[in-house]
């Protein structure tokens, strides 16, 4: 043994000497020092395994997933796509309430559930049952992160206070979504649209002459889940240094506000005068005290609007978003056959155009209406004019390039058959996502009790008759 080790050491010394002399020769020959390898900063040597074969990003991380509905499940599904082992804890006999919401196939888990819970395992545990609490505590000791989005106070009422969890497992990260942060509304239950309204999105969305509007993108639920994900990964990284877990909190109001931060920017700009990039400026409509709804105006410095394309009378999605980006203004004038606008002082510069945006877009629309949205896109792309076709969900579902990148994935399911889901929108070159179907309710209860928690077969049989993991057997045991 010692001999072998010495042998290796000897070989290493020889190799090191050879490397040094090679460096010397190189320096003498080229007159330049050889490029120095980057310092290791305590990291292991770069893997020599092929890309995508060195394990997935979050491999080895265990998530106790106590989430339901949308915000929490979005977060844990992303962690699962990144390779974490996500153990979804559900109430026996019922499960996540979304399993039954908006059902399209009788008797099968809804798409609402299946599209938010892929690549996870499901265990049923009654968290209010004595034995159920014991199982949960074992899970707390085994897992790295507990993620939850119950109503405020619900986790505490289960006996899983931060103090108790931290005592059971000081390394555990406890991540929560709540509707509001500490303050007057902290005890409120919150759903998507409440967050969109309280986070400033609804008041700034829609048309000036209409009511506030909520958006179809679930920025309150999925947006907050995404924020929570980043909090968790950061806490896992910090734990490498500190050895201890921490609480991670994302309030849905905060998440929405973060996504609507450009509107808080505009609120402050209002103090210094009207906002010229809002089309109401050009239309001579005075600004009030708060940021107005801006219709389809672009949120940045490059004016844009949604314009009709050929067939708009029949197809509600036959539109294109068109941006009159300053550097390509001359190309736009050329395309829409208004060459004199290139030099006309009323049109040639961005400030001159601002008060005329509505009529400029009306003119561009006369051109876009002669083509389909895809033809407009093709014509504009030749000149680097930024524009985007308004794609329907049907078109997105059928788009081959989204299938090729794994952004839209078809998975099979034992009770509902094949369904489409959105895969991992975040692509890692060394950690390909493994998108699997959602689990059936309690599908992995036995394997988690046995393989993760170490219960013996006899104990599992006892647990199953105790009512801690199965509503049906609980009734049978009571009969």
Catalytic (active-site) positions: 221
Closer Cβ to ligand CAO, 96 or 277, answer by number: 96
Q: Is residue 174 within 8 Å of residue 156, measured between CB atoms? A: no
Rounded to whole angstroms, the Cα distance separating 160 from 228 reads 20
For the bound state, the minimum distance from the C-beta of residue 466 to ligand CAO, rounded and expressed in Å, comes to: 14
Only one residue has tokens 């004199």, namely 340
For the bound state, the minimum distance from the C-beta of residue 225 to ligand CAO, rounded and expressed in Å, comes to: 8
Rounded to whole angstroms, the Cα distance separating 341 from 330 reads 8
Closer Cβ to ligand CAO, 56 or 91, answer by number: 91
For the bound state, the minimum distance from the C-beta of residue 190 to ligand CAO, rounded and expressed in Å, comes to: 5
Closest alpha carbon to 239 in 374, 475, 60: 60
Beta bridge partners of 304: 323
196's tokens:
């969109």
Closer Cβ to ligand CAO, 47 or 101, answer by number: 101
Closer Cβ to ligand CAO, 19 or 128, answer by number: 128
Rounded to whole angstroms, the Cα distance separating 69 from 52 reads 32
Q: Is residue 171 within 8 Å of residue 144, measured between CB atoms? A: yes
Cα distances from 56 to residues 143, 235, 260, 342, in angstroms, run 18, 18, 33, 53
Rounded to whole angstroms, the Cα distance separating 279 from 348 reads 18
For the bound state, the minimum distance from the C-beta of residue 184 to ligand CAO, rounded and expressed in Å, comes to: 16
Closer Cβ to ligand CAO, 196 or 324, answer by number: 196
Q: Which residues bind ligand CAO (CB under 6 A)?
A: 69-72, 89, 91, 125-128, 149-151, 154, 157-158, 177-179, 189-192, 221
Alpha-carbon Rg of the chain, whole angstroms?
Answer: 29
Closest alpha carbon to 474 in 152, 126, 236, 38: 126
For the bound state, the minimum distance from the C-beta of residue 93 to ligand CAO, rounded and expressed in Å, comes to: 10
Rounded to whole angstroms, the Cα distance separating 278 from 39 reads 50
Q: Is residue 315 within 8 Å of residue 334, measured between CB atoms? A: no
| Residue 83 buriedness (CB in 10 A; 0-12 / 13-18 / 19+) | buried
For the bound state, the minimum distance from the C-beta of residue 252 to ligand CAO, rounded and expressed in Å, comes to: 6
Largest CA distance in the chain: 90
Rounded to whole angstroms, the Cα distance separating 150 from 434 reads 28
Closer Cβ to ligand CAO, 95 or 282, answer by number: 95
Residue 444, helix vs strand vs coil: coil
For the bound state, the minimum distance from the C-beta of residue 191 to ligand CAO, rounded and expressed in Å, comes to: 5
Closer Cβ to ligand CAO, 139 or 364, answer by number: 139
Closest alpha carbon to 251 in 305, 307, 184, 297: 184
Closer Cβ to ligand CAO, 224 or 431, answer by number: 224
474's tokens:
């609980």
For the bound state, the minimum distance from the C-beta of residue 478 to ligand CAO, rounded and expressed in Å, comes to: 17
Q: Is residue 147 within 8 Å of residue 137, measured between CB atoms? A: no
Range list of H helices, 169-313? 192-198, 221-242, 252-259, 261-269, 279-282
For the bound state, the minimum distance from the C-beta of residue 89 to ligand CAO, rounded and expressed in Å, comes to: 6
Q: Is residue 391 within 8 Å of residue 317, measured between CB atoms? A: yes
β-strands 304-308, 247-251 pairing: unpaired
Closer Cβ to ligand CAO, 68 or 413, answer by number: 68
């Amino acid at each position: 043994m010692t001999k072998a080790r010495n042998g290796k050491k000897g070989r290493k010394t020889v190799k090191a000497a050879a490397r040094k002399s090679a460096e010397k020769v190189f320096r003498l020959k080229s007159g330049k020092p050889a490029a120095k390898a980057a310092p290791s900063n305590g990291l292991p040597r770069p893997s020599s395994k092929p890309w995508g074969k060195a394990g997935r990003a979050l491999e080895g991380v265990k998530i106790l997933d106590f989430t339901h509905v949308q915000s929490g499940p979005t977060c844990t599904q992303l962690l699962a796509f990144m390779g974490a082992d996500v153990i979804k804890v559900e109430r026996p006999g019922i499960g996540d309430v979304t399993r039954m919401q908006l059902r399209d196939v009788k008797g099968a888990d809804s798409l609402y559930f299946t599209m938010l819970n892929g690549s996870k395992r499901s265990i049923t545990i009654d968290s209010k049952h004595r034995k159920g609490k014991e199982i949960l505590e074992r899970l707390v000791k085994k897992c790295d992160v507990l993620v939850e989005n119950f109503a405020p106070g619900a986790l505490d009422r289960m006996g899983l206070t931060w103090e108790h969890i931290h005592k059971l497992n000081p390394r555990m990260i406890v991540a929560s979504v709540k509707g509001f942060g500490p303050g007057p509304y902290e005890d409120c239950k919150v759903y998507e649209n409440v967050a969109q309204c309280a986070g400033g999105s609804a008041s700034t969305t829609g048309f000036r002459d209409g009511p506030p509007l909520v958006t179809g993108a679930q920025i309150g639920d999925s947006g907050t889940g995404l924020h929570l994900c980043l909090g968790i990964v950061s806490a896992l990284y910090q734990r490498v240094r500190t050895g201890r877990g921490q609480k991670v909190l994302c309030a849905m109001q905060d998440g929405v506000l973060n996504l609507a931060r450009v509107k808080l920017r505009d609120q402050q700009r209002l103090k210094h005068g009207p906002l010229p990039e809002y089309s109401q400026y050009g239309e001579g409509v005075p600004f009030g005290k708060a940021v107005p709804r801006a219709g389809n105006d672009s949120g940045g410095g490059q004016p844009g609007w949604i314009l009709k394309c050929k067939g708009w009378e029949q197809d509600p999605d036959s539109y294109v978003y068109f941006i009159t980006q300053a550097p390509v203004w001359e190309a736009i004038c050329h395309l829409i056959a208004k060459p004199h606008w290139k030099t006309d002082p009323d049109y040639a510069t961005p400030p001159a155009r601002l008060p005329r945006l509505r009529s400029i877009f009306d003119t561009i629309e006369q051109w876009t209406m002669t083509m389909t949205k895809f033809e407009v896109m093709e014509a504009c792309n030749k000149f680097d004019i930024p524009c985007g076709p308004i794609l329907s969900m049907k078109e997105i579902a059928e788009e081959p390039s989204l299938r090729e990148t794994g952004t839209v994935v078809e998975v099979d399911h034992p009770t509902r058959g094949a369904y489409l889901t959105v895969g991992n929108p975040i692509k890692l070159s060394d950690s390909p996502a493994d998108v699997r179907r959602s689990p059936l309710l309690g599908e992995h209860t036995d394997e988690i009790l046995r393989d993760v928690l170490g219960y013996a077969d006899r104990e599992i049989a006892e647990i199953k008759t105790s009512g801690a993991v199965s509503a049906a057997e609980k009734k049978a045991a009571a009969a």
